[in-house]
Amino acid sequence: MNNFLDFILKDIETKTNILSALPTKTKTNIKKYNATIDEFQKKYTDYKSNLRNYLLAKSRSFEVKNEETTDINSLNDHVISLERVKFLLNPTNTYFEKMGFDELLYQLSNYSTFNFSSLNELINGFLDKFQLAGISLSQEDFDYTCYVKEYMASFLDVRTKKTESHEKLSEVFEQIYWVNPDIIEHIELNFRKLIRKNAKKFEAYIETIQKEWMAKEQVANYLDCLEKLQNAYLSLHKATEENVSDIVLGCEKGEIDINSFLQESKVRSSAYEALVPETVDQSDVGAMQKVCVVLDRLETNVLEYSKYMEFEPIITAFKEEYKKSVSEAPKPEPKKVEITGLKEVLGKIEASEQELEKLNRKILGTKNPFFDFKNEMEIKQLKAKSVVKAKELYELYAKYDEEYFKEKVLDILNPTLTVADVLHLYSSFDYFKKKALQKVFKLTTYDDIKRYSESFDLFAMNPSNVIVSGVLVFDETNIPKTIVNKYRLNGIKIDEMDLSMDNIQNLLNRIRLVLRIHMIETSMLSVEKIWFMIQVHNLLEKEQQI
């Protein structure tokens, strides 16, 4: 007895022959010809409908429910909370970074470069942070120059009244801007001075919220936090790991090509040839499980290495800048020298700010309600002097920033400094990280800088990083060779070329393919069943489009 497929193949052939043999010359012929077609169509429409129902029912019988037993949202919230505690307890940076002043200052100091939409939002950002620490700034606090005084008086007025209209403020800004285009720098300088002046209050505030968060997350100290965070990451990773229903969904969306999973696929055979040791029986589930544990680790390592390659220019630039310091002087000495350097700049800043204050007092104190030509000229000259002084101070603060970061670097600089140490350093100092990213990658928009910065932080904080913890910054390490040698011991045939920028994604795809096939084959489904589900899905989708 024929099966249905054989019958259909023969039947189609027969019916096609019948049709081709039918005459179509006369109206009667045509009528008969079309009637035959109608008859065939009726029969085949029935077949199609029955088949369609069967295919659907069969495909649905394979569906795997995505049973989410764990609450991913709460695991994610836990990770975010612990990351917050880690950020607050980070021993590398100070209240300045923990308050997020470095981030705001980066934006303010690059205001004109990146055309930020609102200067006022940035100023509000600073004022809000002061308020968090219980510091309410008033007009008297903004006296860095007469221009800051004028603008901030209007700004605070608008902020206090909470009026929506900023028209008047824009007018004031414009008036000042044409007289003194450095007004934004002056505002920045004023905030820098106020932050320094209130350092103790900020430190006390950070201490308070550190305690609050530590109690909330039951964290004893920084190291305890790192340990808890590592566990939280693992729980989240486990809960969000790809499962078979994710693979089916990926195939349906066209993100995964199920055809490459099939036994006869060349993509599959070449992946297995390279990644599964010859001695392993691929049909032995237990043996394949062991191979997949190794491949899972290889995937993690390769992903880490690909991220490392992405940010390698930052590490190289760091190496270039500090290689002399690390080779020429013993560790404690440069640190001492640089601390003096930082103090020296700070001393200069304070002295210059005092001089500027004197000038400001003269400018603001010599106002005469009556017209006095001499007096007006004098004020004009004093104002010009104050602008020059502010410019000097702006340069001094730039020098201060340089010395500040240098001090942090020299604090940890030694020949055994690892890539992980540098990643941690940069992710602890947002201002310098963004500056380095901007310079090294020649970034021209703030959106790009933010994107690179977020990606950098994700890499720097990735708990599964192992390679970067062992790679020394001031040493020539061949990472691909290290990875290849490690996995050759496991019988995996990869070479250094597989880890090159051009090939690394291909290697990752091949690893993923083997891991996914193993996952499917050890589940309730099989590659063939998923292939079938996708065929049904695609056929029905195509019909719906018609």
Partner 1 sequence: MKNSEKTVDFDLSLLSLQELITVYQKVAEFLDFLESKKIVEEEKGKESHE
Sites of contact with partner 1 (CB under 8 A): 1-12, 14-16, 19, 24-27, 30-31, 33-34, 37, 40-41, 44-45, 47-48, 51-52, 54-55, 58, 528-529, 531-532, 535-536, 539
The smaller minimum CB distance to partner 1, of residues 51 and 80, is found at: 51
> Which DSSP state fits 476?
-
Q: Which residue, 55 or 461, is less far from partner 1 as judged by CB?
A: 55
User: Beta-carbon neighbour count of residue 478 at 10 Å?
Assistant: 11
Q: Are 268 and 517 in contact (CB under 8 A)?
A: yes
Q: How far is the CB of 522 from partner 1 (least distance, A)?
A: 19
- Alpha carbon separation from 301 to 249, 453, 466, 481, 494 (Å, rounded): 27, 22, 8, 13, 13
Alpha carbon distance 527, 332 (integer Å)? 62
In the complex with partner 1, the residue whose CB is nearer, 34 or 289, is: 34
51 versus 388: smaller Cβ distance to partner 1: 51
Nearer to partner 1 (CB atom), residue 12 or residue 179: 12
Shortest Å, Cβ 528 to partner 1: 6
The residue type found at 380 is K
Structure tokens of 510? 């091949």
Sign of torsion over alpha carbons 19, 21, 22, 23: positive
Shortest Cβ distance from residue 15 to partner 1 (Å)? 8
Alpha-carbon distances, residue 226 vs 90, 210, 236, 455, 462 (angstroms): 10, 15, 15, 20, 12
3-class DSSP string for 182-251: CHHHHHHHHHHHHHHHCHHHHHHHHHHHHHHHHHHCCCCCHHHHHHHHHHHHHHHHHHHCCCHHHHHHHH
Q: Smallest distance from the beta carbon of 507 to partner 1, in angstroms?
A: 31
Q: Smallest distance, Å, CB 53 to partner 1? A: 10
- 55/472 with CB nearer partner 1: 55
In whole angstroms, the minimum distance from the beta carbon of 285 to partner 1 comes to 22
- State in angstroms the smallest separation of the CB of 520 from partner 1: 14
Cβ-based nearer residue to partner 1, 18 or 179: 18
